[in-house]
Amino acid sequence: MQLSPAERLLWGYGVTEPAHIDLEGIAHDQNAQVIYRPLHGCEARLATFGDRAVISVNSSSSEGRQRFSLAHELAHWICDRHSGSFLCAQEDIGPQNAEARTTEAQANGYASQLILPTYLVDPWLENKDAHLEIASALGNDFRTSVTAAAIKMIKRSKKAALIACHNQTRLLWHQRSRSFPSDFFPVRELHCDTEAFDMVFSDKSRMTKIKKEPANRWINGSGVYRLEAQTQSMRLPDGTILSSISLISENNRSRRF
């Protein structure tokens, strides 16, 4: 398997299980001091002084968010150090923004591989389904947010599945697995017959049970009305709703997944 640059770094440090991913240890070894303190107007920052750096991480964020922010600043330090210092806003740092060709997106891509390296995640996932409860367990084992874990899970899943994040009025972002039909799209607004709809208009913060329901409550596309999906939703700390939608394969249907 071809390792990404972040995976090569971890491999070089002898990381062979999730508990070995010691971001502060890596920072120390790379001449970067890590400080947790309240930050205003940004989520994390990198200040460089020649061959040394100070990484500040917002102490009021959750552990998963702090780890992603630290990994993001480490990416700037390791990959973009010629560019000097960085002040990174909350909207710049996140696993859902890792594919564009900007410096921030590239730092997110590197950070994602640092906290959830494919060479450890693939054996962890094996043939597991792509439900949120699996993402939650993945996030626990790798000490990441459930969002970061869900995005990684869906990118590596062999199932025809999708995760989508909605607020009260619209779809905010989504990520599909490689085998999810390219002509199917998540609905723009939560359907009123879903538990996710109830959840976005209340302050219930539990995760729903996995449920089988008509796929067209979640997905638009030709022939979707004939399909069913297994779905699961949860409310994220910012009040948005994250959902996993896995299409159910049936041999007597015209489409197979």
Contact in structure between 135 and 244 (CB atoms under 8 Å): yes
Amino acid at position 232, single letter: Q
Assess 88 for contact with Zn ion (CB under 5 A).
yes
Minimal CB distance to Zn ion: which residue?
88
Cβ at position 241, least distance to Zn ion in Å: 27
Unique residue bearing structure tokens 């723009």: 188
Nearer to Zn ion by C-beta: 109 or 181? 109
Contact in structure between 24 and 70 (CB atoms under 8 Å): yes
Nearer to Zn ion by C-beta: 86 or 124? 86
Assess 75 for contact with Zn ion (CB under 5 A).
no
Nearer to Zn ion by C-beta: 69 or 246? 69
Cβ at position 138, least distance to Zn ion in Å: 24
Nearer to Zn ion by C-beta: 7 or 104? 104
Q: What is the torsional sign of CA 239, 180, 156, 108?
A: negative
Cβ at position 256, least distance to Zn ion in Å: 42
Cβ at position 89, least distance to Zn ion in Å: 8
Cβ at position 126, least distance to Zn ion in Å: 33
Angstrom distance (rounded) from CA 124 to CA 126? 6
Contact in structure between 216 and 224 (CB atoms under 8 Å): yes
Cβ at position 151, least distance to Zn ion in Å: 18
Residue 51, class by beta-carbon neighbours within 10 Å (0-12 exposed, 13-18 middle, 19+ buried)?
Answer: exposed
User: What is the contact mask toward Zn ion in residues 91 to 110, using x (rule: CB under 5 A)?
Assistant: -------------x--x---
Nearer to Zn ion by C-beta: 103 or 220? 103
Other C-beta atoms closer than 10 Å to the C-beta of 191 total 14
Half-sphere exposure of 169 (CA within 13 A, CB side): 0
Angstrom distance (rounded) from CA 74 to CA 38? 19
Nearer to Zn ion by C-beta: 107 or 135? 107
User: What pairs with residue 191 in β-bridges?
Assistant: none
Binders of Zn ion: how many residues, by CB under 5 A? 4
Cβ at position 119, least distance to Zn ion in Å: 25
For 71, the 3-state DSSP assignment is helix
User: What is the contact mask toward Zn ion in residues 124 to 163, using x (rule: CB under 5 A)?
Assistant: ----------------------------------------
Unique residue bearing structure tokens 């410096």: 103
Nearer to Zn ion by C-beta: 39 or 88? 88
Q: Where are the beta strands (DSSP E) in the chain?
A: 32-37, 44-49, 52-58, 86-88, 161-166, 171-176, 185-186, 211-214, 219-220, 228-235, 241-247
Assess 32 for contact with Zn ion (CB under 5 A).
no
Q: Which residues bind Zn ion (CB under 5 A)?
A: 86, 88, 104, 107
